[in-house]
Amino acid sequence: MIQLYWKNATGDVVGPEHGISPSDMASAMKKVAVAHEAVVEQWDAGELGYAKLPARRDYRDEVTQLAGRYRGKVTDLVVLGIGGSASGNIALQTALNPVTYNLLSDAKRPGPRLFVLDNADPTLIGDTLAMLGRRLKKTLFNVISKSGGTAETAAIFMVVREMLRKRLGEKFADNIVATTDPEGGILHDIAEADGYATLTVPGDVGGRFSVLSPVGLFSAAMCGIDIDALLAGAARMAEKLKSTPPAKNPACVLAAVKYLMYAQKGKPIHVMMPYSNRLAGLADWYKQLWAESLGKETDRGGQKVFVGPTPAKALGATDQHSQIQLYREGPNDKLIVFLEVEKHSREVRIPDVFGDVEKLAYLRKVKISKLLNVEKQATEYALAQSRRPSVTIRFEAVTPESVGEFIFLYEFTTSLAGEMLNINAYNQPAVELGKKATFALLGRDESDPMAGEIRKFAETDTEYLV
Predicted local confidence at residue 32, as pLDDT: 98
Same domain (yes/no): 309, 371: yes
**What pLDDT is recorded for position 69?**
97
User: Do residues 392 and 5 make contact, with C-beta atoms less than 8 angstroms apart?
Assistant: yes
Which residues, 6 or more positions from 151, have their beta carbon under 8 angstroms from its beta carbon?
120, 435, 438, 439, 442
Q: Show which residues are catalytic.
A: 292, 321, 435
- How does pLDDT run across 98-133, given as a tens digit for each residue? 999 999 999 999 999 999 999 999 999 999 999 999
Helices (H) and strands (E) in the chain, counts: 17, 12
Domain housing 156: 72-223
Confidence of residue 433 (pLDDT cuts 50, 70, 90): confident
341, containing H or E segment: strand 334-343
Query: In this predicted model, what pLDDT tens digit does every residue of 129-164 receive, in sequence order?
Result: 999 999 999 999 999 999 999 999 999 999 999 999
The answer to whether the CB of 349 falls within 8 A of the CB of 368 is yes
Looking at the fold, whether 401 and 274 belong to one and the same domain comes out as yes
Average pLDDT over residues 286-294: 98
Residues 239 and 275 in one domain: yes
Say what the alpha-carbon torsion angle 202, 205, 210, 215 is, to the nearest 10 degrees.
Answer: 20
- The whole-number average pLDDT for the span 388-408 is 98
Domain boundary among 193, 223, 253: 223
Residue 211: inside a domain, yes or no? yes
- Residue 62 belongs to some domain of the structure: no
Contact residues for 396 (Cβ-Cβ < 8 A; gap 6+): 2, 342, 343, 402
- For the chain, the domain total comes to 3
| Tens digits of residue pLDDT in 360-371 | 999 999 999 999
The strand pairing partners of 139, in sequence order, are 76
Alpha-helical runs (H) found in 264-393 = 280-294, 324-329, 368-385
Contacts for 235 with CB less than 8 Å, ≥ 6 apart:
54, 55, 404
- In a domain, residue 390? The reply is yes
Beta bridge partners of 269: 310, 334
pLDDT band at 238 (very low <50, low <70, confident <90, very high): very high
Under 8 Å between Cβ of 372 and 213: no
pLDDT higher than threshold 80 for residue 447: no
pTM of this structure: 0.95
253 and 196 in one domain? no
**372 and 301 share a domain?**
yes
Q: Is residue 245 part of a domain?
A: yes
Alpha carbon distance 270, 313 (integer Å): 8
Q: Which residues pair with 221 in a beta bridge?
A: none
**169 domain-assigned:** yes
Cα 139 off chain centre by:
25
